[in-house]
Amino acid sequence: MEGLLKLKRRHFNALVCSVCALAAAGSLGHALAQAPAQAASSNLPAVLVVGDSLSAEYGLKRGTGWVALLSETMVKEKVKARVVNASISGDTTSGGRSRIAALLKQHKPRWVVIELGGNDALRGLPLNMTRENIATMARLSREAGAQVLLLGMEMPPNYGAKYGQEFREVFTAVAKAEKTALVPFFLKDVADIKDPTALFQNDRIHPNESAQPTMRDNVWPELRKLIARR
Protein backbone atom coordinates (compact mmCIF):
# COMPACT_ATOMS: atom_id res chain seq x y z
CA MET A 1 0.00 0.00 0.00
CA GLU A 2 1.65 3.01 -1.35
CA GLY A 3 0.93 5.45 1.43
CA LEU A 4 1.75 3.01 4.14
CA LEU A 5 5.12 2.58 2.54
CA LYS A 6 5.97 6.00 3.99
CA LEU A 7 5.57 4.45 7.41
CA LYS A 8 9.04 2.95 7.72
CA ARG A 9 9.62 -0.73 8.16
CA ARG A 10 10.86 -0.27 11.74
CA HIS A 11 7.34 0.77 12.67
CA PHE A 12 6.02 -2.55 11.37
CA ASN A 13 8.65 -4.43 13.30
CA ALA A 14 7.57 -2.56 16.41
CA LEU A 15 4.01 -3.64 15.76
CA VAL A 16 4.96 -7.30 15.73
CA CYS A 17 6.35 -6.92 19.24
CA SER A 18 3.42 -4.87 20.44
CA VAL A 19 0.74 -7.25 19.19
CA CYS A 20 2.42 -10.17 20.95
CA ALA A 21 2.49 -8.17 24.16
CA LEU A 22 -1.17 -7.26 23.74
CA ALA A 23 -2.18 -10.86 23.30
CA ALA A 24 -0.22 -11.87 26.38
CA ALA A 25 -1.86 -9.07 28.34
CA GLY A 26 -5.29 -10.56 27.76
CA SER A 27 -6.64 -8.37 25.01
CA LEU A 28 -9.30 -10.99 24.24
CA GLY A 29 -11.52 -9.91 27.10
CA HIS A 30 -10.92 -6.26 26.29
CA ALA A 31 -11.84 -6.71 22.65
CA LEU A 32 -15.02 -8.63 23.35
CA ALA A 33 -16.05 -5.98 25.85
CA GLN A 34 -16.19 -3.47 22.99
CA ALA A 35 -19.26 -5.00 21.36
CA PRO A 36 -22.05 -2.40 21.27
CA ALA A 37 -24.47 -2.70 24.16
CA GLN A 38 -27.27 -3.73 21.84
CA ALA A 39 -25.37 -6.91 20.92
CA ALA A 40 -25.87 -8.40 24.37
CA SER A 41 -29.57 -7.70 24.73
CA SER A 42 -31.11 -7.51 21.29
CA ASN A 43 -32.80 -10.31 19.39
CA LEU A 44 -31.98 -8.65 16.09
CA PRO A 45 -29.92 -10.67 13.58
CA ALA A 46 -26.19 -10.19 14.10
CA VAL A 47 -23.36 -8.81 12.02
CA LEU A 48 -20.27 -10.52 13.45
CA VAL A 49 -16.94 -8.72 12.98
CA VAL A 50 -13.87 -10.92 13.44
CA GLY A 51 -10.74 -8.80 13.19
CA ASP A 52 -7.50 -7.61 14.75
CA SER A 53 -6.35 -4.31 16.26
CA LEU A 54 -7.72 -2.34 13.29
CA SER A 55 -11.20 -3.36 14.43
CA ALA A 56 -10.59 -3.67 18.18
CA GLU A 57 -10.24 0.09 18.84
CA TYR A 58 -6.55 -0.23 19.70
CA GLY A 59 -5.34 3.12 21.05
CA LEU A 60 -8.75 4.72 20.62
CA LYS A 61 -11.37 5.97 23.02
CA ARG A 62 -14.05 3.32 23.46
CA GLY A 63 -16.90 3.76 21.05
CA THR A 64 -14.92 5.70 18.42
CA GLY A 65 -13.68 2.80 16.26
CA TRP A 66 -15.09 2.01 12.85
CA VAL A 67 -17.12 -0.94 14.16
CA ALA A 68 -18.91 1.24 16.69
CA LEU A 69 -19.49 3.85 13.98
CA LEU A 70 -20.89 1.12 11.74
CA SER A 71 -23.36 0.18 14.44
CA GLU A 72 -24.43 3.82 14.79
CA THR A 73 -24.89 4.12 11.04
CA MET A 74 -27.08 1.03 10.95
CA VAL A 75 -29.26 2.45 13.72
CA LYS A 76 -29.60 5.78 11.89
CA GLU A 77 -30.54 4.01 8.67
CA LYS A 78 -33.04 1.84 10.56
CA VAL A 79 -31.31 -1.40 9.60
CA LYS A 80 -32.77 -4.20 11.66
CA ALA A 81 -29.51 -5.81 12.70
CA ARG A 82 -26.99 -5.55 15.51
CA VAL A 83 -23.19 -5.54 15.45
CA VAL A 84 -21.06 -7.90 17.52
CA ASN A 85 -17.38 -6.99 17.61
CA ALA A 86 -15.29 -10.09 18.31
CA SER A 87 -11.99 -8.52 17.26
CA ILE A 88 -8.74 -9.04 19.16
CA SER A 89 -5.63 -6.88 18.92
CA GLY A 90 -2.76 -8.95 17.58
CA ASP A 91 -4.95 -11.73 16.21
CA THR A 92 -3.91 -13.76 13.19
CA THR A 93 -5.96 -15.81 10.75
CA SER A 94 -5.04 -18.90 12.79
CA GLY A 95 -6.54 -17.26 15.86
CA GLY A 96 -9.67 -16.33 13.94
CA ARG A 97 -9.99 -19.84 12.55
CA SER A 98 -9.70 -21.33 16.04
CA ARG A 99 -12.46 -19.03 17.35
CA ILE A 100 -14.92 -18.91 14.48
CA ALA A 101 -16.93 -22.06 15.26
CA ALA A 102 -17.65 -20.95 18.82
CA LEU A 103 -18.52 -17.43 17.69
CA LEU A 104 -20.92 -18.73 15.06
CA LYS A 105 -22.60 -20.97 17.61
CA GLN A 106 -22.85 -18.21 20.21
CA HIS A 107 -24.06 -15.32 18.06
CA LYS A 108 -25.70 -17.12 15.11
CA PRO A 109 -24.85 -14.22 12.77
CA ARG A 110 -26.49 -13.66 9.42
CA TRP A 111 -23.44 -11.73 8.25
CA VAL A 112 -19.76 -12.19 9.06
CA VAL A 113 -17.10 -9.56 8.37
CA ILE A 114 -13.56 -10.99 8.36
CA GLU A 115 -10.77 -8.46 8.90
CA LEU A 116 -7.66 -10.58 9.41
CA GLY A 117 -4.40 -11.29 7.63
CA GLY A 118 -2.23 -8.26 8.31
CA ASN A 119 -0.57 -9.79 11.36
CA ASP A 120 0.14 -12.97 9.42
CA ALA A 121 2.20 -10.98 6.95
CA LEU A 122 3.95 -8.97 9.66
CA ARG A 123 5.00 -12.21 11.33
CA GLY A 124 6.17 -13.74 8.07
CA LEU A 125 3.64 -16.58 8.14
CA PRO A 126 3.16 -18.60 4.92
CA LEU A 127 0.62 -17.05 2.57
CA ASN A 128 -0.89 -20.43 1.72
CA MET A 129 -1.68 -20.87 5.42
CA THR A 130 -3.26 -17.41 5.56
CA ARG A 131 -5.35 -18.20 2.50
CA GLU A 132 -6.47 -21.55 3.90
CA ASN A 133 -7.40 -20.03 7.27
CA ILE A 134 -9.49 -17.26 5.74
CA ALA A 135 -11.14 -19.69 3.34
CA THR A 136 -12.03 -21.99 6.23
CA MET A 137 -13.53 -19.12 8.20
CA ALA A 138 -15.57 -18.07 5.19
CA ARG A 139 -16.73 -21.62 4.48
CA LEU A 140 -17.75 -22.32 8.08
CA SER A 141 -19.62 -19.03 8.18
CA ARG A 142 -21.52 -19.85 4.99
CA GLU A 143 -22.31 -23.35 6.24
CA ALA A 144 -23.75 -21.74 9.37
CA GLY A 145 -26.09 -19.70 7.17
CA ALA A 146 -24.17 -16.40 7.18
CA GLN A 147 -23.16 -14.20 4.27
CA VAL A 148 -19.48 -13.22 4.35
CA LEU A 149 -17.63 -9.98 3.65
CA LEU A 150 -13.82 -10.08 3.45
CA LEU A 151 -11.80 -6.94 4.12
CA GLY A 152 -8.69 -7.01 1.96
CA MET A 153 -5.35 -5.62 3.07
CA GLU A 154 -2.13 -4.61 1.34
CA MET A 155 1.47 -4.53 2.46
CA PRO A 156 3.89 -1.63 1.88
CA PRO A 157 6.16 -1.82 -1.18
CA ASN A 158 9.27 -2.41 0.94
CA TYR A 159 8.00 -5.96 1.40
CA GLY A 160 8.62 -6.42 -2.32
CA ALA A 161 6.34 -6.14 -5.32
CA LYS A 162 5.96 -9.91 -5.73
CA TYR A 163 5.04 -10.48 -2.09
CA GLY A 164 2.69 -7.51 -2.11
CA GLN A 165 0.84 -8.86 -5.13
CA GLU A 166 0.64 -12.38 -3.72
CA PHE A 167 -0.66 -11.07 -0.39
CA ARG A 168 -3.30 -8.95 -2.10
CA GLU A 169 -4.38 -11.92 -4.20
CA VAL A 170 -5.03 -13.99 -1.07
CA PHE A 171 -8.23 -12.03 -0.48
CA THR A 172 -9.40 -11.94 -4.09
CA ALA A 173 -8.76 -15.68 -4.46
CA VAL A 174 -10.70 -16.57 -1.32
CA ALA A 175 -13.56 -14.24 -2.24
CA LYS A 176 -13.84 -15.89 -5.64
CA ALA A 177 -13.49 -19.47 -4.39
CA GLU A 178 -15.85 -19.06 -1.45
CA LYS A 179 -18.25 -16.71 -3.23
CA THR A 180 -17.99 -13.95 -0.65
CA ALA A 181 -18.23 -10.18 -0.93
CA LEU A 182 -14.95 -8.26 -0.84
CA VAL A 183 -13.64 -4.82 0.09
CA PRO A 184 -10.37 -4.87 -1.92
CA PHE A 185 -8.45 -2.52 0.39
CA PHE A 186 -9.85 -1.84 3.86
CA LEU A 187 -7.53 1.16 4.42
CA LYS A 188 -8.29 2.90 1.14
CA ASP A 189 -8.06 6.70 1.53
CA VAL A 190 -6.31 6.17 4.87
CA ALA A 191 -2.98 4.49 4.14
CA ASP A 192 -2.70 5.51 0.48
CA ILE A 193 -3.08 9.28 0.77
CA LYS A 194 -0.26 11.76 0.19
CA ASP A 195 0.56 12.08 3.89
CA PRO A 196 -0.78 8.95 5.60
CA THR A 197 0.83 9.89 8.93
CA ALA A 198 -1.98 12.43 9.36
CA LEU A 199 -4.46 9.59 9.85
CA PHE A 200 -2.30 7.35 12.05
CA GLN A 201 -1.56 7.26 15.73
CA ASN A 202 1.90 8.08 17.05
CA ASP A 203 3.00 4.49 16.45
CA ARG A 204 2.36 5.13 12.74
CA ILE A 205 0.75 1.74 12.53
CA HIS A 206 -2.80 2.10 13.82
CA PRO A 207 -5.28 4.53 12.25
CA ASN A 208 -6.34 7.34 14.57
CA GLU A 209 -9.84 8.48 15.45
CA SER A 210 -10.04 10.75 12.39
CA ALA A 211 -9.55 7.75 10.10
CA GLN A 212 -12.36 5.64 11.56
CA PRO A 213 -15.25 7.19 9.58
CA THR A 214 -13.37 6.49 6.34
CA MET A 215 -12.78 2.89 7.37
CA ARG A 216 -16.47 2.56 8.20
CA ASP A 217 -17.36 4.07 4.83
CA ASN A 218 -15.12 1.56 3.06
CA VAL A 219 -17.06 -1.30 4.62
CA TRP A 220 -20.65 -0.12 4.85
CA PRO A 221 -21.60 0.00 1.13
CA GLU A 222 -20.62 -3.65 0.61
CA LEU A 223 -22.18 -4.78 3.87
CA ARG A 224 -25.38 -2.89 3.06
CA LYS A 225 -25.65 -4.83 -0.21
CA LEU A 226 -25.41 -8.13 1.67
CA ILE A 227 -28.00 -7.05 4.21
CA ALA A 228 -30.36 -5.94 1.46
CA ARG A 229 -30.22 -9.44 -0.10
CA ARG A 230 -31.75 -10.93 3.04
Q: How many CB atoms lie within 10 A of CB 184?
A: 16
Mapped onto helix, strand or coil, the DSSP state of residue 129 is helix
In angstroms, the CA 156 to CA 12 distance is 10
Q: How many CB atoms lie within 10 A of CB 5?
A: 18
87 is catalytic: no
Active-site annotation holder among 27, 55, 89, 206:
206
Contacts of 177 (CB under 8 A, 6+ apart): 135
H or E element at residue 211: none
Active-site annotation holder among 42, 189, 192, 203:
203
120 is catalytic: no
Q: How many distinct helices (H) and strands (E) make up the chain?
A: 10, 5
Active-site annotation holder among 27, 53, 87, 141:
53
The closest alpha carbon to 131, from 84, 181, 166, 87, belongs to 166
- Amino acid making up residue 158: N
53 is catalytic: yes
Query: Hey, which residues does 82 pair with through a beta bridge?
Result: 46
In angstroms, the CA 69 to CA 63 distance is 8
Residues forming the active site? 53, 203, 206
